[in-house]
Chain A
Amino acid sequence: MPVISHVTCPVCGSFCDDIEVTVQDNVIMGVRNACAVGAAKFLDYANHRIANPLVRKNGELAEASLGEAIKKSAEILIDANYPILYGWSSTSCEAIRIGLELAEEVGGVIDNTSTICHGPSILSIQDVGIASCTLGQLRHRADLIFYWGCDPWSAHPRHVERYTTFSNGRFQRSTWRAHVSRLGGILSKKRLRRAINLVLGRDIFATPEISRELPYTMFQKKRKMIVVDVRKTHSAEAADYFLQVEPNKDYELLQAFRMLIANEELDVDHVAGVPVETLDEIADVMIGCKLGVIFFGLGLTMTEGKLRNIDAAISLVRDLNQRTKFLIMPMRGHFNVAGANVVFTWQTGFPFAIDFSQGYPQYNPGETSVIDILCREEADAGLVIASDPVAHFPKEAAQNLVKNPLIVIDPQTTPTSLMADVVFPSTFVGIETEGTAYRMDHVPLPLKKIVEPPTNCLSDVEILQRILHEVRRLRSKRK
């Protein structure tokens, strides 16, 4: 069976480019090198597929011709005073470019999913800058890796294996073997506890306390991984050290580290639930590393403080660079959310939350961002592409999105497509359509076409182009 190699995985921001896909008679038969999520995407993408365009008639979604769906969409966008165009992070840069043209044409607001993931990180980077790099540099050189407020084992399952602790770099070796032997010990203990509980018929063990003491591996001259989180996630189990922080206290912890790095005394015993002696030891490990990196996730951007947490994290890295080399990088979620920011920026000057209602791009997150607009009930129509806001927006925002006319472009049935007025079945970019996407470190990579799409499915690019063309045609007719 023919094997297609070097396929990029259109799932998460790690954007792995070493996937091998076996295809026979236009059907994907097997996937190698992908994580569980990536494999599920390649093998199950055809489930819950929308076959034809749908238009809501008498309250029910009914099959319609492509022409009818395009015309209805164009009418919705032209008749609206303040439409929202949202999504964009799971499609190609080529489609995003046309989306921006459409937003300008209809005088709407265009926003991407970074508004509910790393929007605060972008605001902070605009305020204080960022010391970052590509993932290749970290794979080869980083000897101290922090995952702060993120769980790569769950959200970016191959990140640790490909880019950090478990990757074999030119100057840093993988610590995979040490992890496997440690994991063996942990599993044996768990099995023993389960067996004893089974024999006695009740749980006699209290959940073990999390140790604050730094293990000896933290003082060895080899690659080390520290996870900072409020729960002991799978990533924390794989780490050399897990630093458990109280919820919503990351800002205090980051500022405490800044004081310790600056050799200042803390006149408290604990910060964010962590003893100051422990923080002092970790600060020494930070200063003692050759190249450190902090990967941070939504545990910083979504909790109390939001962008100020990121300010503190970036400032900590800046302080550390007085003593050693340190870098910082956000763990971007969708495979092309970084691309959405890049394309938005080179087209308009701004990375997300862009308002074209005055005829020129305006950017003021908090005012022009999609959640705020929806909660203020200002939008009067919506176009959603490659995203599912009804499933992921807070209830109030989602309710205000679906009460207005709604256009959805998506390959699959989702809660959002079920609530739409017009639904376009699109092709899967990276499986049925080629394109370009940006990895989390802003490296652009190609998305491959590996199978032919179903007959009635057009690419996001083509659907958007047709809607844009129809909007312009109807506008000139109405003038």
Chain B
Amino acid sequence: MPKLEVSLLTGRTVDQGVGKEHGKLSEEYQESVAICHVDPQDMKLLEIRENDNVKIITNFGSVVVRLVKSPAAPHPKVIFIPYGPWASLVMNPETHGTGMPSLKGIPAEIEPALEERVLSIPDLLREHYKRK
């Protein structure tokens, strides 16, 4: 299966902002946040099309999200996930003594995950944040 080493960025988008105002449990929020913007050239290397699911893997975890062709291309080997519960699963908590975790420029791998599904927020909480 093709796999690509990339630099992972997170950030805000207008759709993420609007989605969170609709409600964090709304479909609009998941549609606008559980996504990953990928450069069209990288999509060719991964042999994958828009709206297919991809898995992002970092040293801190992995997450399955929906692929979106990047509107901000060209940025080869750089992928972008909007802030939200999905991006948080692969973030680097190291603050280097500043209090600020590293939420941009994280080394990551991206691979097609056509058989896997994107978790909804209740499923994601159940799977990753179990209470005692």
Contacts and interface: CB of A to CB of B under 8 A. Distances in A.
Interface residues of B, number: 56
A279 interface: no
Contact of A231 (B9, B18, B26, B97): B9
Contact of A302 (B72, B104, B125): B104
Interface in A346-367: 352-353, 365-366
Given A40-B21, A353-B99, A419-B129, A390 B85 contact: yes
B17 A154 contact: yes
B78 interface: yes
Given A37-B21, A231-B78, A402-B129, A236 B72 contact: yes
A381 to B, nearest CB: 13
Nearest to A206: B41
A119 B100 contact: yes
B interface, over-half SS: loop
B98 A307 contact: yes
Given A48-B26, A207-B40, A403-B132, A306 B100 contact: yes
Q: How many residues of A sit at the interface, in one of the four size bands?
A: 35 or more
Contact of B18 (A36, A59, A418): A36
Contacts of A399: 128-129
B107 to A, nearest CB: 10
Contacts of A35: 14
B98 A398 contact: no
B9 A230 contact: yes
A408 interface: no
Interface string A290-331: 000000001101111011000000000000000000000000
B96 to A, nearest CB: 6
B117 interface: no
Interface of A: 11-12, 35-37, 40-41, 44-45, 47-48, 59, 111, 115-116, 119-120, 123, 151, 153-155, 157, 203, 206-210, 230-234, 236, 244, 247-248, 298-299, 301-304, 306-307, 333, 352-353, 365-366, 369-372, 375, 388, 390-399, 402-403, 412-415, 418-419
Interface of B: 7, 9, 11-14, 16-18, 21-26, 39-41, 60-61, 70-75, 78, 80, 83-85, 88-93, 95-105, 121-122, 124-125, 128-129, 131-132
